[in-house]
Structure 1
Amino acid sequence: MMMMRFLKPLFFVSILALVFSCGNADDDVSLDLNLGGLGKGKPVDDCLNLGESDLVLSIQEQFTTLPGKVSIFFKVSDVEGNPVSGLTANQFTIYEQGRNDDCFNTISSSESLARISPRSQIFNQNTLLVLDLSNSVLSGSLDELKTASVSFIDNVMPDVTEESFKMAIYWFDGEDELHLLNELSSSKEELVSAIEGITTDISNDPSTDLYGAVIKSTNIAEELIKTNTNNDIIGAASVVIFTDGTDQASRYTQSAALKKVNDANPNISFFSIGLGAEIDTQVLTEIGKTFSVFAGNKEELETTFNDISFRVSQQANSFYLFEYCSPKRDGSGENNLAIQVTKGSMQGAVQTKFNATGFTGGCE
């Protein structure tokens, strides 16, 4: 509760001020997960002599909690922008520099109780799975689609239920409506049951309103981001669209759909999956601007869904809430902080600041 009381006024200050600095994240907050480069951090001081970076740590937010905890929320990627997931606390090294230090001192990870903490207090990841259930799918590849979708759910949703990870399932045909199959849920079993319940008579319109589905699902993702923001939560969303053809309903234009994707909140990632010879790969590549895959036949569907699920999962799990108990105490003022991460032969680091006002011994 202390953390949320600390965060709430800062969120409103940042929204009003729209001023973002590169180092002291205790004084400014951004709800945009896609901050460029190091985000709210900066390159580490040369005195550390860490060498060239292979990994990029982009600080999204940081805050302090009395009596002495420092929390850093950041995304890790390689230099090409690919997300890096699965990191553990022992892969991070902490460096602090106080006003009496010429350079940084290494802080013991074990003595400082460094850990990767649950992110649900400050971060939500929502996935929208949007399925084409037009006549061509229902009559030709429904069983394969259901199997692939179940595999997708199994891969994306955590094995242990987390309220910060949710998925909703929608479907479209030729109607001017994005049909809800299952509302946002953190239950893997509930989502799988919804997929297994799809029958060949679910649709009343055999056409394909692909562009309408793109526009409507993006609107839903935008609203989810907005709701998270209003609740002082940093939110990200993934829209995953499957189709086996082109837009046939012609209710909406291609340009309108692509504009909706390109103008969307930067915290939304877009993925597309195409099946068969009737798809327009160029259009689907533009719709799935984050990543797109294509299956030549229905037997390849599960493989392509697995490919997308891996990337969706990787994206979500490349965000970390790293926390440790600082040895700095009240009166030390503002201190520099550097965090280095290593993965195999790769390493990367980022520098920021924190204020130790009120810090005392002990840390929960």
Structure 2
Amino acid sequence: MKSFFRTFSALFILTLIMSCGNADDDIDLNLNLGEGLGQGKPVDDCLGLEEGDLVLSIQDQFTTAPGKVSIFFKVSDTNGNPVSGLTADQFTIYEQGRNDDCFNTISTSESFARISPNSQIFSNNTLLVLDLSNSVLESSLEELKIASTSFINNVMPETPLESNKMAIYWFDGEDKLHLLNELTSSRTELAAAIDGITDDISSDPSTDLYGAVIKVSDIASDLIKETTARDNIGAASVVIFTDGTDQASRFTESAALKKVDEANANISFFSIGLGSEIDTQVLSDIGKTATVFATNKEELEDTFNDISDKVSERANSFYLFEYCSPKRDGSGENNLAIQVKTGAREGAVQTKFNAKGFTGGCE
């Protein structure tokens, strides 16, 4: 049974790292009550660890009898860029009990340390939003369909996972964000939806770009709220493609950017622009996490692949790290530090856990 740690000192709430570029600086604010290191804090000086290039942001932590400690965290560099692909042997565990002057290293092999599937506590949703206004349908629809299918295959696992889903929306000049395919974990279903797009799908040749941004931001925010209500952690990636500027003038640029700027910090925004009629600054502001541009339709697949790599890196930078602690019932509250090293980069974070109910043996 999970015993969640929810109370944290205001002393450890750090200032949010702000980015001028397209950095992925998302932290789950709903559960962490803070930013930066999330539930963690900088490690004690007695460990002698230098300030590192990596940031471990603890999103959640819990214990499971008879002695398992589970820490769910996101790894990024100091610029907020996600770090994916880490393995258990790249982590070092340190524990400090009430009788210890400093921390003791816990063997990762003897403690059965592992990176575990995080689907039971984490949901990741991708919202792909396509401009299907007249200019796209007449000149670049087939290239867009190829690029979108490639994006789906890159982002979605071949074996469907309930914790990883995607939905596809499209917009034209109507005051509506059209649903092409609802959230699903099946990339076959998503690809079929893309394949089914025809050049007569739209009846309004205008472009309601700002309306699409506002509406999909609300959808992503609602998904995060639904996930949090289930006591899980949620992340969402919004990916918007367009080949032009807002022509409908139904909503303002400032209203759209306000939605993006004020969205839950675990929502990332990506944008893809095509051709010479786009406003690169506006698209960069909308795609605050990352933005790419294609000068012609032949480059579309490459630009979609660039964004799919960034979406996947972000999702795979969340880790559920678990190990069996040697602490036992009666030892009370213990300090825990986790250090990660990958190449020349390293980082560490410190937190606490209570060994109440811990006995010998561990799954």
Q: In structure 1, what is the equivalent of residue 160 of structure 2?
A: 161
1:327 and 1:261 map into 2 onto residues whose CA distance is 45
Within the alignment, does 1:177 sit opposite 2:180 as a pair? no
Q: 1:212-262: CA deviations, max 9, x gaps?
A: 100110111111011111111111111110000011111111111111111
1:151 and 1:40 map into 2 onto residues whose CA distance is 37
1:196 and 1:19 map into 2 onto residues whose CA distance is 52
Asked if the contact 1:157/1:188 (under 8 Å) is kept, the reply is yes
Asked if the contact 2:8/2:39 (under 8 Å) is kept, the reply is no
Q: In structure 1, what is the equivalent of residue 17 of structure 2?
A: none
Q: In structure 2, what is the equivalent of residue 66 of structure 1?
A: 65
1:158 and 1:110 map into 2 onto residues whose CA distance is 29
Q: In structure 2, what is the equivalent of residue 243 of structure 1?
A: 242
TM-score (norm 1): 0.92
Q: Name the SS for the 1:58 alignment partner.
A: strand
1:44 shift after superposition: 1.3
Count how many residue pairs are aligned between Structure 1 and Structure 2.
349
TM-score (norm 2): 0.92
Q: In structure 2, what is the equivalent of residue 26 of structure 1?
A: none
- Specify every segment of 5 or more residues in structure 2 that has no aligned partner in the other structure, as ranges: 14-27
- Specify every segment of 5 or more residues in structure 1 that has no aligned partner in the other structure, as ranges: 24-28
Q: In structure 2, what is the equivalent of residue 83 of structure 1?
A: 82
Asked if the contact 1:67/1:358 (under 8 Å) is kept, the reply is yes
1:195/1:70 CA distance change after superposition, 3 Å: same
1:200 and 1:289 map into 2 onto residues whose CA distance is 30
Q: In structure 1, what is the equivalent of residue 318 of structure 2?
A: 319
1:170 and 1:57 map into 2 onto residues whose CA distance is 34
Equivalent residue letter for 1:209: D
Asked if the contact 2:29/2:264 (under 8 Å) is kept, the reply is no
Greater Cα offset, 48-57 or 188-197: 48-57
1:354 shift after superposition: 0.6
Q: In structure 2, what is the equivalent of residue 302 of structure 1?
A: 301
1:21 shift after superposition: 6.5
* Match runs of 1:1-364 below 5 Å: 2-3=1-2, 6-7=3-4, 22=12, 31-32=30-31, 35-364=34-363
Equivalent residue letter for 1:309: S
1:328 and 1:285 map into 2 onto residues whose CA distance is 50
2:340 and 2:313 map into 1 onto residues whose CA distance is 17
Equivalent residue letter for 2:322: E
1:154 shift after superposition: 1.2
Equivalent residue letter for 1:140: S
Q: Name the SS for the 1:60 alignment partner.
A: strand
1:80 and 1:176 map into 2 onto residues whose CA distance is 37
Asked if the contact 1:21/1:40 (under 8 Å) is kept, the reply is no
2:204 and 2:278 map into 1 onto residues whose CA distance is 19
Q: In structure 1, what is the equivalent of residue 18 of structure 2?
A: none
Q: 1:259-284: CA deviations, max 9, x gaps?
A: 11111111111111100000011111
What RMSD in Å do the two structures reach over aligned CA positions?
1.8
